Amino acid sequence: MVLKRVLATCLVLALPVCFAEAPPTATFSGLDLTSIDTHVRPQDDFYRYCNGHWLDSAQIASDKDSVSPTTDLEDRNQSQLREIIERLVSHSSDTVGEQRKIVDLYSSFMDEAQIELLGVKPLASEFSRITALRSVTQVPALMAQLSRIGVTVPYALSVHQDAKDATVYIVDLVQDGLGMPDRDYYLLPDSDLTQSRTAYVKHIQTMLQMAGEPHAAQDARQIVNLETQLAKLQWTKVESRDPVKAYNRYTLGQLQKLVPSYNWRVYLTALGLDDKIPTIIVSQPSYLQGFSRLLHHTPLPTWKAYFRWRTLSAYAPYLAQNYAAEDFSFYGTALRGIEHDKARWKRGVDLVDVSIGEALGKLYVTEHFPPAAKERMQALVRNLIEAYRLDINSLDWMGPETQRNALAKLDKFTAKIGYPDQWRDYTSLVIKPGDLVGNIMRARTFEFERNLHKLGKAVDRNEWDMTPPTVNAYYNAEKNEIVFPAGILQPPFFDLRADDAANYAGIVSVIGHEISHGFDDYGSQYDGNGNLLKSPGWFDREDLEKFKAKTRALVSQYAGYAPVPGYPINGELTLGENIADNAGIAIAFQAYMLSLAGQEAPIIDGYTGAQRYFIAFTQTSRGLARDSAAILSIKSDPHSPDKFRALVPVLNAQGFYDAFNLKPGDKMYLTPEQRVRIW
């Protein structure tokens, strides 16, 4: 969530139109003044200065693993969605079409009496299918069926834009099949991870016992052993970040030769794809080879137990309370330290959002995202693009050829703001009153089939990967697009009432963060149309080495912090997001300076515009997390923990040193040589 800075004194005249779109001067700073701890010098501990009183008083809710401005906004959005859904429910006799589907899906989840009455019976047909296995030769067809209904199996198939031909779709095969968050949870000797493994075995045994399995204890041990073998075969998350290494194209015949003992044609026929895919992209060929060996060397009863477990786990939150509670006890409490599950209405809202989210999102944006917000966001994006253009032209590590290539890619960026131009059609999705598990199976199958049906069609560049109420944003390298759902375009990230400094620090730094992904160690390997390039991408080789030197410094800088003792940040795993965080704060600050058009920002609440910018950035980036959740994040999340997303980019930003007059001897001071500046 942060960007980069460029001196703008003589450059303002180059942007007479774009930066003339600022709103009237605001007198509301947008800062959380109650959180500021004036007993701390900003030059000594800026994070504490901005957030001290909040850090002393903030409480992580019993149904959460962390607290931050993002979680607060998620709560607010969720309450707004609840109001929309329950209003529809209260007038259910008048609802039709998509709105009727929303009502019936939500109501089926809220009908606890019916759910308790059914117990595990809704999974009976899937369990019978698994029990009927007579040979591993039948496993491909079974895995196809389980994938349709959203059950995790050892590999996952999806239809995806071809990374080397952005105009067509292609099938991807990726490694999968684990019940814990990452391979490290199975393989590393850390005491916390060892405890998680012990809890996982116990959890599986308890769940299988509740489902009536006669050999639950033995099955649980065998299942975890099987998943451990799968984990050993998988590449690390750092290795998986290399898009060139993960792009391995095979014809069906070549895939069969790669894994000769696995019948791919049976699997693809079960999905209706056998005659539709000339080639397949395999992320980890060595993994598929290992999986095939494991399939034939593992007793069939163990595979049956594994598939029953994966099915039960996939649907446990939607079964009787004892299943849902046990599922939460492991995935919520044991792994993340959360004390209590969410209120049922919250889980019901989540289910509707994930199952029929654009239908619900359509109603959400009508009520909570005014046209003025979209127009203002579009102006801010234009401003930031211009700031990037100026920055690219001034970077000391980019030569002329790399600059030309970077600017060409920047010219092709697409920004999606608020909600899709074309809404998803849910006409074929069947939602029945009182059939919760059936509804979820049909919703998951609907999405799976919708994905498969892309094959042979032109790439849909209007498609969104998040629903409108989502409090998040993303960059898609294969479409060269940044996407900002309406859900994040709310205070404190974006407030139409607030002074520009807060909005540039909040949402514009997020925009800058996302745009920078197009130029980071991953995104720089794609051209402006979304095609994966051969090394060195669009970099000049000499410039690439300069870039790598800077990224190595950033890796080392973040690796020096351990959010939980003994668990340092993985600077390689988080590199792309760390580049983006540092880029976001710098570029958004530059854009804010340019927006002033040479004028001094007003003093509001006793702070200059530049000071308000860095305070607002540090406040919107703050957060607290439970230790177990922090460990999970360090092991599996490409983002650094919240505190360090706020702290480190500020340390690297020259604008911060100027705004608060930092000098050698101040605790926050880094020498210019110690600061990592990429953008």
Domain extent listing, the chain: 12-78+371-413+494-659, 123-303
Give yes or no for residue 88 having a pLDDT over 90. yes
Asked if 12-78+371-413+494-659 and 123-303 have one fold, the answer is no
| CATH node for 12-78+371-413+494-659 | 3.40.390.10
> What mean pLDDT is predicted for residues 636-641?
94
Which phi and psi angles does 536 have, rounded to 5°? -100, 35
3 state DSSP class of 417:
strand
Give yes or no for residue 19 having a pLDDT over 80. no
Q: How confident is the model at residue 531 (pLDDT cuts 50, 70, 90)?
A: very high
Give yes or no for residue 94 having a pLDDT over 90. no
Alpha-carbon Rg of the chain, whole angstroms? 26
Q: What is the pLDDT of residue 419?
A: 97
> What mean pLDDT is predicted for residues 589-594?
94
Q: What distance in Å separates the CA atoms of residue 403 and residue 424, rounded to the nearest whole number?
A: 38
E strands within 448-599?
A: 474-476, 481-485
DSSP assignment letter at 604: B
Read off the amino acid at residue 391. D
Q: What distance in Å separates the CA atoms of residue 476 and residue 479, rounded to the nearest whole number?
A: 6
Q: What is the pLDDT of residue 396?
A: 87
- What's the token pair of residue 467? 């629903």
Read off the amino acid at residue 36. I
Give yes or no for residue 11 having a pLDDT over 80. no
Which phi and psi angles does 426 have, rounded to 5°? -105, 20
Of 174, 411, 428, nearest to 283 by C-alpha is 174
Q: What distance in Å separates the CA atoms of residue 661 and residue 654, rounded to the nearest whole number?
A: 10
> What mean pLDDT is predicted for residues 419-439?
97
| CATH node for 123-303 | 1.10.1380.10
Q: What distance in Å separates the CA atoms of residue 588 and residue 387, rounded to the nearest whole number?
A: 8
DSSP assignment letter at 319: S
Looking at the chain, the whole-number percentage of residues with pLDDT higher than 70 is 96
Beta-carbon contacts of 125 under 8 Å, excluding residues fewer than 6 positions away, are: none
Per-residue pLDDT of 130-151, as tens digits, reads 999 999 999 999 999 999 999 9
Q: What distance in Å separates the CA atoms of residue 472 and residue 470, rounded to the nearest whole number?
A: 6
Looking at the chain, the whole-number percentage of residues with pLDDT higher than 90 is 90
Per-residue pLDDT of 264-301, as tens digits, reads 999 999 999 987 888 999 999 999 999 999 999 999 99
Give yes or no for residue 5 having a pLDDT over 80. no
Element (H, E) at 280: strand 279-282
Q: What is the pLDDT of residue 446?
A: 98
Per-residue pLDDT of 546-589, as tens digits, reads 999 999 999 999 999 999 999 999 999 999 999 999 999 999 99
Q: What is the pLDDT of residue 184?
A: 95
Which phi and psi angles does 166 have, rounded to 5°? -65, 0
Q: Is the dihedral of CA 607, 610, 613, 616 positive or negative?
A: negative
Maximum Cα–Cα distance for the chain, whole Å? 78
CB 653 within 8 A of CB 585: yes
Q: Torsion angle, CA of 69/70/75/77, rounded to 10 degrees?
A: 110
Q: What is the pLDDT of residue 26?
A: 63
Q: Torsion angle, CA of 104/106/110/111, rounded to 10 degrees?
A: 20
For 2-70, the DSSP string reads: -B-----TTTGGG-TTGGG-PPSPPSB----GGG--TTS-TTT-HHHHHHHHHHHH----TT-SEESHH
Q: Which residues pair with 162 in a beta bridge?
A: 165
Give yes or no for residue 27 having a pLDDT over 90. no
CB 483 within 8 A of CB 465: yes
Q: How confident is the model at residue 679 (pLDDT cuts 50, 70, 90)?
A: confident
Q: Taking all residues of the chain, what is their mean pLDDT, rounded to a whole number?
A: 93
Spell out the alpha helix ranges (H) of 316-424.
321-328, 335-336, 344-368, 371-394, 400-411
Least confident of 114-118, 129-133, 518-522: 518-522
CB 144 within 8 A of CB 270: yes
> What mean pLDDT is predicted for residues 203-213?
97
Per-residue pLDDT of 325-339, as tens digits, reads 999 999 999 999 999
Q: What is the pLDDT of residue 25?
A: 56
Read off the amino acid at residue 593. M
Report long-range pairs for 283-286 (Cβ below 8 Å, ≥24 apart): 283/172, 283/173, 283/174, 283/175, 283/240, 283/246, 283/248, 284/174, 284/175, 284/234, 284/235, 284/240, 284/246, 285/248, 285/250, 285/258, 286/233
Q: Which residue shows structure tokens 């619900």?
A: 360
Give yes or no for residue 234 having a pLDDT over 50. yes
CB 514 within 8 A of CB 413: no
Q: How confident is the model at residue 462 (pLDDT cuts 50, 70, 90)?
A: very high
Give yes or no for residue 20 having a pLDDT over 90. no
